Every structure is written in C-alpha cells, then in structure tokens.
Amino acid sequence: MLTVILSVVAALAVWTIPAGAAERAILAPAPAEDAPLAVAPASETVVLAGGCFWGVQAVFQHVPGVRNAVSGYAGGRKETAEYETVSSGRTGHAEAVEITYDPSVVSLGELLRIFLSVVHDPTQLNRQGADVGTQYRSAIFARDEEQRRLAGRYLAQLDRAGVFGDPIATRIEHLEAFYPAESYHQDFATLHPGHPYIAAIDRPKVENLKRLFPELYRETPALVSSRAVEH
C-alpha cells in the first residue's frame, strides 16, 4: 500500500504548472444575511467544492473555528468515490471538502465569503485554471434548506453587484453524501509544501486568506492526521 501511495504522489509531482496559474483573489463583501453566531460552542458542517481539494482543504484548515476539513467526494455514488474513477469526470462527483466548524466562532456566511474570495474563482465553469472537468466544478453542497437559502441569497447578492466581473458559475446542490478521499490526499498541502502544484496554486490561496481576512486566519492548521478518517 505504501508503495502505491508513493507512486501516486510521485506521479502527481511531475505535473507542469503554467505560469500565473494561481486563481485571482477578490475580496467579496460580507453577506447581507447570515446565520447568527451560536451562543455556545456547537458543531456544524458544510461541504464545498472549488477545484482540486488540496487547496480548498488547506485554506479552511487555517480558519479559526474550523475543527476539521476533510478532502473527499460529493455528488456521485459511493462505489465511484475513488480518486482515479472521479478523475474521469464521468461519476457526477466533485472533489470537495467537508468542513466541520464551531458556529459560535465562525459563521456559514464567513466561510462562504472565504470560499468565494480566496479559495477559487467562482466564475469558472467546470474547471479551475488548468484543472478541467465537472469534478473540478464550483459547488456548495447544501445539507438542508437553510444552507441552500443562505447560499442562494449570497450568490444572488454578489451577482447583482457584479463583484467578480463575470457571472458566478457556482452551483448549489443537495448533499446526498460525502465520502472522504484516500489518506494520501489528506493534509497534502501541509505534508508536501515543496510540491510544484502546492507552491504555485495552493500556497497563494493561504497567503491571500491571511492578507484579506487577517481576523479569520490562524497560523497553525487543523490537520486531519490528528483525527480518524474512514474511507
């Protein structure tokens, strides 16, 4: 198993990264309507997809109030929730991250604002930069009607204001299930900081979080490796 994992990581390391491939960062205004902060510590989850899950996970691991951010798959069936199969673009899955957070520390609206501002470019349809396919689509997987409502209102607010210049391509989808990705994908940005993709694409995302949202940045990431993740 270790040999297989190392072989996959080595294969990923030879990817060529186009110059200037990192997505732009645009500071979106706060949502006009947001879920109020809880009066006591609690636990909520939201599943977000915005291109390669390495960078999505890396950003949210640095957000205060986020207890865990797990890379995985959403939008397809359990039997196809496997990296090589999902990479075909024919499974319905998107590379996604399940974010478990404390709503007394950080709100859903703040997480969505980070997602749309620094995690990815929400105007790109079924791609992020050189990563092309429906598995790289921009999506908010709503677990209930309240998440769907708040997300929909925020996207409409930003579109009306023309914040990103182009129409927002982010989809709101119903969350049927979330399937954690293979262990070698977890904490990838932290464990492989010298990987060309991480250096060119994902490290700038974390730096943009620190620059644009200093009040929503913590230096030490919340790593999956400190928790048990089933697949």
CA proximity to 133, closest of 69, 61, 76: 76
- Judge contact between 119 and 112, C-beta under 8 A: no
Amino acid (one-letter) located at 105? V
pTM of the model: 0.90
**Per-residue pLDDT in tens (0 to 9) along the chain, 231 residues:** 333 343 344 344 444 555 445 667 999 999 999 999 999 999 999 999 999 999 999 999 999 999 999 999 999 999 999 999 999 999 999 999 999 999 999 999 999 999 999 999 999 999 999 999 999 999 999 999 999 999 999 999 999 999 999 999 999 999 999 999 999 999 999 999 999 999 999 999 999 999 999 999 999 999 998 665 444
Nearest to 71 by CA among 94, 96, 46, 45: 96
Host domain of residue 214:
37-226
Can you give the pLDDT at residue 18?
52
Q: Give domain status of residue 19, yes or no.
A: no
- Amino acid of residue 21: A
52 catalytically annotated: yes
Query: Is residue 11 assigned to a domain?
Result: no
Residue 8 within a domain? no
Cβ atoms of 154 and 142 within 8 Å: the answer is no
Task: Answer yes or no: are the C-beta atoms of 102 and 39 closer than 8 Å.
Answer: no
**64 within domain boundaries:** yes
CA angle 88–91–96, rounded 5-degree value: 90
Q: Residue 26 falls within a domain, yes or no? A: no
DSSP string, 99-136: EEE-TTTS-HHHHHHHIIIII--TT-SSEETTEESGGG
Q: Is residue 30 in some structural domain?
A: no
Q: Which of 48, 52, 209, 222 is catalytic?
A: 52
Q: What is the pLDDT of residue 13?
A: 41
- Number of structural domains (the chain) is 1
Residue 5 is assigned to a structural domain of this protein? no
The DSSP code for 2 is: H
Q: Which amino acid is at 192?
A: H
Where residue 212 sits, what CATH number does that domain have?
Answer: 3.30.1060.10
pLDDT at 16: 53
- Inside any domain, residue 32: no
